Structure 1
Amino acid sequence: MKPEGIQLLSSAGVFGPAIIVPVILADHFEASKSLIGLIAGLYAAAGFISTYAFGRASDVYGRRKILLA
């Protein structure tokens, strides 16, 4: 598979839940718009923090070890 295809699938795996989860919350659980916004914000914040943490860990321990862990 070409690197562009791998990047597309990787991005779909990361951003897919950000698109689908609010729809499910609104339809199935009848959540309010403010709760959906809070959950979306927490998802983004968790992604921001984990990107830093895993980036730092890959610098310290090596990218291969972190990806295989």
Structure 2
Amino acid sequence: MKKILLLVALIPGFVFAQNPEQAKKILDQVTAKTKTYKTIKASFSFKLENLQENIQEEYAGTISIKGDKYKAT
């Protein structure tokens, strides 16, 4: 689950990544840093906007991680 959280946190960086070696280095640094935490809690929100179907939805939530356990709301 931690890997998924890291991926979500780093998606903006992937969009602009030009160098795969540099991207791996950054991911390795983030992974090493997050392994030092006992727990991780993150809040998130996102907006879905489909102009063709006239759909606009907003979502928000939190995720808490402790060891191999997680809770998403």
Which interval holds the TM-score relative to the shorter structure? 0.3 to 0.5
TM-score, length-normalised on structure 2? 0.36
Query: RCO greater where, 1 or 2, for CA within 8 Å and sep 6 or more?
Result: 2
